[in-house]
Chains A and B, each alone.
Chain A
């Protein structure tokens, strides 16, 4: 089980990094999502996985020999909420970016480096990219 989890997390990381290296904004967003899942899965494995043992300690019987660690679950819960809100923002931002720039290709987003007021430079560059 541990190996399965580890390999899954690794594959998710690899897929996420592959996706954020793409040129399309939507694919980059998918990459960010996958990376979030990968990190959550990694957190999930931070404590040993075990079945059928209690996470709470009974005051009468004292500390049992085996108990499940609830902390990683609590951490993941927080991380999921955060990644949910961040993703919601990223989706809106990408939608807005598409509306403003009219392109979903990150290579066309060079207004931060070359001022876009000079239309000539811009069209020249677009010719080059195409």
Chain B
């Protein structure tokens, strides 16, 4: 069962390549593929929810020798969220991606990216994780450069170089880990690192992994590639990247620091908390100074990553649960914001806040598609952002980390300020004379349907906060008790 999230995108990517010239077939295939993926992932989620951690030993090699695919509740939640996003973005891209890009392999790359993401979420092997990250990165390299505009190419260069550096660090860390423990299976590693953890080498490896994934998930002070590259491709691709790539980096960090390095808490978690604070603050301050809608939202990605990271830094079960809930919340809300930004651009032809204006006067529905997720990101009740931040703050109070709580609340206020700025400029400002003509411009149904659906999901996540948060707490309980994971993979505890 849990091999399908990897196989499906692969098969459909290959079939899509065969229909290179036929746009209609490519469209249909991408809908079918992501739709099937969503159904499969819903099934996997309920399977894991009922029966616990699912394991597949690839090629039937016994656990520490072969490659294991492991899906626990945290992976299942992430798989489900990514496949919902993938389905909606596949629909959105019929209008959101221009014909030239669609002709030139956008859909196969989309599938390969999904394969990499799903692989990284499923795998239980360190080197296999590296391979999936490379699959994901290669597809994202081509997607970000696809179209070849000047800004895109320049952004791609920055993105490619920084990510290659991160991959090199990741690979070096894998080498050192193998040298230390003699295994690459994550469950086996968790056992062995307990034994050797007296030596300082484990800390060195932990910090190497922290830096490698820190670059990929854009934490302070390693985020500078993100605002320089994420706003350059079409907004659909930016939404895809912001929903999947940085969040997979975050997923891996949470996985590593709960499963492999839970004992080094004093040293690494101080680093994590400090970095989380700076990530939140610099992200939101960067956003405050922007007037380009896409760049502003890109800075908010960084700021919100800081919150997820803060949960990991607090390192209690409740904090991890809040982080997982936050992860789901931000994937939905952020994608909704990017999609609404894309719709704004399709009407008024710009992302510049100075050139936008007057959208609220004639397009109340469109304005709501921005307003609801924006309030959610800012953390106002009854939206999901409020509950996510509430969870983190309660966890912080329990651990008596008052400084980071204060910072989180302040950043929340700044986020609200930043969203208000966008609202005033793009929506509430009276329209200029030249913009009256724009008001009649229709927006494609391919854009309306996914945007509305994703906002609905985001609102539902807030309204159903209690049951969903309980699932997140179950996932966090699994993460904080690695013996379950180890027993599921190795079959016993040695």
What residues of chain A have their CB less than 8 Å away from a CB belonging to chain B? 16, 20, 25, 28, 32, 35-36, 38-40, 42-43, 45-47, 69, 71-72, 75, 78-79, 82, 85-86, 89-90, 93-94, 96-97, 100-101, 106, 109-113, 115-116
| B138 CB within 8 Å of chain A | yes
Name 16 interchain pairs, CB-CB below 8 A, sorted by A. A35-B165, A39-B172, A42-B172, A43-B171, A43-B172, A43-B174, A46-B178, A46-B179, A75-B174, A75-B175, A75-B178, A78-B127, A100-B149, A100-B150, A100-B153, A106-B157
Question: Out of B151, B165, B175, which one reaches A72, CB within 8 Å?
Answer: B175
- Which chain B positions have C-beta within 8 A of A40? 171
Known contacts A42-B176, A46-B178; is A94 also within 8 Å of B148 by CB? no
- Which chain B positions have C-beta within 8 A of A46? 175-176, 178-179
| B372 CB within 8 Å of chain A | no
Known contacts A86-B138, A97-B153, A97-B154; is A113 also within 8 Å of B168 by CB? no
Known contacts A28-B161, A96-B153, A112-B151; is A86 also within 8 Å of B134 by CB? yes
A58 vs B148: C-alpha distance when bound (angstroms): 56
Known contacts A78-B127, A85-B138; is A109 also within 8 Å of B154 by CB? yes
- Which chain A positions have C-beta within 8 A of B130? 79
With A46-B175, A75-B174, A106-B157 given, name 10 new contacts (CB 8 A). A16-B168, A38-B172, A39-B171, A42-B171, A43-B171, A43-B178, A71-B178, A86-B164, A89-B160, A111-B154
Question: Out of B127, B137, B231, which one reaches A75, CB within 8 Å?
Answer: B127
A82 vs B172: C-alpha distance when bound (angstroms): 14
A38 vs B202: C-alpha distance when bound (angstroms): 21
Contact call B153/A36, Cβ cutoff below 8 A: no
Contact call A101/B171, Cβ cutoff below 8 A: no
Contact call B165/A112, Cβ cutoff below 8 A: no
Contact call A45/B153, Cβ cutoff below 8 A: no
Q: Mark B141-178, 1 if CB is under 8 A from A, else 0.
A: 11001001111011111101100110110011011101
Known contacts A82-B134, A100-B148, A113-B228; is A93 also within 8 Å of B179 by CB? no
What residues of chain B have their CB less than 8 Å away from a CB belonging to chain A? 127, 130-131, 134, 137-138, 141-142, 145, 148-151, 153-158, 160-161, 164-165, 167-168, 171-172, 174-176, 178-179, 182, 184, 228-229, 231-232, 292
Contact call B175/A45, Cβ cutoff below 8 A: yes
- Which chain B positions have C-beta within 8 A of A20? 161, 165
Contact call A89/B138, Cβ cutoff below 8 A: yes
A94 vs B174: C-alpha distance when bound (angstroms): 29
A113 vs B164: C-alpha distance when bound (angstroms): 22
Question: What is the minimal beta-carbon distance from B79 to any residue of chain A, in angstroms?
Answer: 24
A86 vs B151: C-alpha distance when bound (angstroms): 21
**Residue in chain B with minimal CB distance to A44:** B175
Question: What is the minimal beta-carbon distance from A34 to any residue of chain B, in angstroms?
Answer: 10
Contact call B172/A93, Cβ cutoff below 8 A: no
A56 vs B161: C-alpha distance when bound (angstroms): 39
A42 vs B176: C-alpha distance when bound (angstroms): 8
Contact call B178/A72, Cβ cutoff below 8 A: yes
A112 vs B228: C-alpha distance when bound (angstroms): 6
Question: What is the minimal beta-carbon distance from A84 to any residue of chain B, in angstroms?
Answer: 11
Question: What is the minimal beta-carbon distance from A94 to any residue of chain B, in angstroms?
Answer: 7
A86 vs B232: C-alpha distance when bound (angstroms): 21
- Which chain A positions have C-beta within 8 A of B179? 45-47
A89 vs B477: C-alpha distance when bound (angstroms): 42
Contact call B154/A101, Cβ cutoff below 8 A: yes
- Which chain A positions have C-beta within 8 A of B229? 112
Question: Out of B155, B161, B228, B232, which one reaches A32, CB within 8 Å?
Answer: B161
Contact call A89/B141, Cβ cutoff below 8 A: yes
Contact call A82/B131, Cβ cutoff below 8 A: yes
Question: What is the minimal beta-carbon distance from A4 to any residue of chain B, in angstroms?
Answer: 17
